[in-house]
Amino acid sequence: MTELTRVRGIVFDLDGTLVDGFEGIATGVNAARAAAGLAPLSRAEVTSHVGRGLDDLLAATLPPEERERGVRVFRAAYDRICEAESRPMPGAPAVLRQLASRGFRLSVASNKLAPYSMRILRALGLADGLTAVHGPDSAGRPKPDPAMIEACLEAMGVDRERAIYVGDMPLDIAAARSAGVGVVLLAGGAASRADLDATGVCVLDGLAELATALPHGPE
């Protein structure tokens, strides 16, 4: 793993890392299920399938014959509520401001489409200080492919040896390793603390602990 003392650039995941957007995702999934005549799922059930993008999410929550329509219904519903049904993860606004003021380069790489990520980040006051926001639509492929993390590194002007990816689930380890950057996982997102601890990588309690663990500023 990249030594935290050498970190100059930080690429963040979005849902479960900077933003708790699981309520809005559940609303979109349940709109698609309702259109298919299916009962709603709980937020926890939906959250357990989040992370690999919309196609995988709907593959896990809709029968095959409903998935094409499900994408349209999900996006129509999510477009209406993505901002209202998202909130910052604890400490996110203050930590992002602090890290930017300390000289770190910051960006976001999420399997959510980049325009949705930008809308949510702006609505929650988290967009200032971010150099780039990428998703599979802007970078070409979803995580764990390295494309979006690599696009963030290029935009930040940071070598992979001086960067970390910060996420909330084991998938984020694969994404970081595919891009050749270090990885830190934060508890409190989509995966349980036990599942995170079992990965053997650095797991922190949240964004405030991340800010404390990093040096005062890049070398």
Structural tokens at position 162: 């001086």
CA of residue 68 relative to chain centroid, distance: 24
**C-alpha distances out from residue 149 to 24, 71, 143, Å:** 25, 25, 9
How far is 15 from 32, CA to CA, in rounded Å? 20
- Residue 39: CB atoms within 10 Å: 7
Q: Which amino acid is it at 71? A: V
Taking alpha carbons only, the member of 196, 148, 193 closest to residue 175 is 148
Is 13 among the catalytic positions? yes
Backbone dihedral angles phi then psi of residue 107, each to the nearest 5 degrees: -155, 175
Taking alpha carbons only, the member of 191, 139, 145 closest to residue 170 is 191
Secondary structure E strands in 157-196: 163-167, 182-186
CA of residue 105 relative to chain centroid, distance: 17
Q: Of 13, 15, 20, 172, which one is the catalytic site residue?
A: 13
Taking alpha carbons only, the member of 128, 129, 171 closest to residue 149 is 171
Structural tokens at position 42: 């709980």
Q: Which residues belong to the active site?
A: 13
